[in-house]
Structure 1
Amino acid sequence: MEVSCAFPTALDTPDHVALAERLGFSRAWVYDTSQQSPDVWMTLALAAERTERIGLGPGVLVPSLRHPMVNASATATLCALAPGRVAVAFGTGFSGRRAMGYGAVTWKFMDAYLRAYRGLLRGEVVEWEGARMRMLHPDGHAPARPVDVPVLVGALGPKGGAVAKDLGDGLFATLQIPDYVGDFPWSAYLLWGTVLDDHEPVDSPHARAAGGPGWALSLHGAYEFGGPEAVRALPGGDEWLAVVGKAGEDERHLSVHSGHCVELNDADDAAWRAGGHSTLRDVTLSGTTDEVRRGLDDLAARGVTEVVYQPCGPDVRTELERFLDAARA
C-alpha cells in the first residue's frame, strides 16, 4: 500500500509538498476548497517547480467550481510542469460546496462533466452547455493531445460507484470505505489522525491540535448527512448544536464548516471540551505507533491501495514523520 499525504491548501503548501517528497511520501493531494484556500492549481504549479519525484494532484476537484475547459487546461499545464507525476481526483463537494451553502452536485452532472473533461484532454470536440468546443492550444501552450492523466472519482454510494467504474481509473474515498473499494486497481483513502505517545490521553493539547480537525469531521459529516439528531447521538453533540444553532439557517453552514480540516471552530471546541474527544480513536486513525500500524494493515486488507494522510496542527514535519514511521513499522 502506497503512503501519500494531503494538504488543505495554504500559502505554505508548496513547501510542505517539497518536505513530503524529501521524507518519502508517494504522492501529495491538495484540496480544492476555494472558500478558505488559495487556488489549487496555482499551488500545485508552485509545488511542481519545487519537486522532482512526488506525485501531484488536486484531491478532490469540485466540478461546479470551474468550466471543464478550465480544469482540462489546468491539468494539461500541470502535466507539462510535472510530466508523469499528475493524477486528478473529482468529488461532488463536501466542504467545497456545503461551506458555501450549496448541496453536493448530482451524479448525473458529474457523469456529464467527466465525459466532457476527459474528451477535451483526448483532443476531441465535446459539447457543454449547448456549445461544441475543443482544446485549441497551439504548440508551446500545452502538451499535445491526448493528455493522458489518471482520474480518480470520490464516491461512497452506489451511484457514485457506478460513475467511478465507468469513467474513472480509480476510487478516492474518505469519511468511510465503500464495500466496492476492492473493485478498483487504485483505491485511495483519505484519513486524519495522529500518532500518540504511549499513555498519551486523547484530550492532550497535542491530540487536540493534531487529531482534532479530523475528529471534527465526524460532527460535520453527521450534521450534513444525518441532521441534528445524528449529531445528538455523538458525545458533545448537544454542545456542538447549541453553538451552531446561534446562527440563522441561511448562514448556519458558515458555523459548521469554519476551520475545515485545519482547526477546531467554536462548535467543535465546545463538543471537544464536553467529552467529544473520547471518540478520537474511533473516528480518526489515532493511537500509538503500533495501533496506527494495525489500522493501516486493516485498510490494506479491505482493499485500499493508497492511504492518504493529512497532517494537522502547528508541526507538520513531525506529524508527517511520525505517521510515516508508523506506516513503515
Structure 2
Amino acid sequence: MEEDICEIRLPNGKVKKLAYGKVKLAVGVAGLLLAAALGSAGYFYYQLADYRQEAAEFAEYKVHKQEQQNKLQQLLQDNEKMLRDMAEISNLEKKLRRAIIRDVDSSKLGVAPAAETSGSGGGTYTGKGSGEPLDSKTAMGVLEAQNSNIRRMLESSKKSVSELLGEIEGRSGTLASFPDRWPTVGGVVSSNYGGRTGPIGGGYEWHVGLDIAADFGAPVYATAAGTVTQAGWNGGYGRYIKLNHGNGYETAYGHMSGLAVTAGQQVIKGEIIGFVGSSGYSTGPHLHYEVLADGQNIDPFYVMRQ
C-alpha cells in the first residue's frame, strides 16, 4: 500500500514532499518537547518562589538574631560598667570612712550595703551551675536581672557615700582639699565617664574622666586645694595639669589652651589654674577632667556636689 504524501511549498518556491507518518511523528515529538519545557518552566518557577520565600525568612532571622546579639552586647557592656562603678564606689566609701571615721559620729553613717539575696529587693534569680550553655533569651533574662540587682546595690552605696560626704561638710577646712566643685563656670558635659565610641579613631574605649565643652579661653578652676605635681604638655592630653590634694585624692585637667600655674605650686580651692582649649587629641574646645582616689580613676560625679 502506498504511503500518503504531504507536499509542503517552501518560501523559495520549492516543493518538499513528506510522508504523513513522519509529519505526525514530528508534530508529536514537538508537542512532547513543548509539554516538557512548560513542565520544567513551572517546576523551576515554583522552586524560585520557594527559594525567595526561604531567603526572605532567612534574612528576617538574621536581622532578629543580630538584634538579639546587639541587645546582649549592650547588656554585657552595661553590666561591666556597673560592676566597675560598684568597685569604685566601694573603694571610695572605704577611703572616706578611713579618712574621717575617727572624727565623725559613726552612728549617723549607717553600714555598708550587704549583697542581696533572692528574697530581698524583689530579686528572683539565684546562682546555679550548669554544664549547658544558655540560649540568647535566657542569657538576656539573667543579665537583665543582674543589672537590676546591681543598680539597687549602686543606689544603696551612693546613699552611704552621700551620708559620709554630708557629715564632713560641716568640718572646718576638710572640704577645702576635697575635689567636689565644678572645674569651670558652666559648660556642658560632652562625654561622660565610662565606655564610649572613640571621638577620633572610633572603636570602643573606656573614658576615664569627663569632657566638659566650654568656650575657648574660659577659666579652669582647681576643684580642691592642693599641690601642682604636673604642669605642661602631656601627649594626647595636650596642655595638662595634675593636682595632689592629699588623703589619696588627685585631679587632672587636659586639652587646655594655656596654664596659669607651675609644678610645685600650692593652689587653693577655686583658684584659676588654666584656660579651656583644644590642645592634644581634641575635636574642639573642652576640658578633660579626672578624679583619682588612691591612684585609681573614679567617676567625678561621685564626689561632685550635685
TM-score tier (shorter): under 0.3
TM-score using structure 1 length: 0.24
> Normalized against structure 2, the TM-score is what?
0.25
- Greater CA radius of gyration, 1 or 2? 2
Larger strand proportion of the pair: 2
Report the structure, 1 or 2, having the larger helix content: 1
More RCO (CA 8 Å, sep 6+) = 1
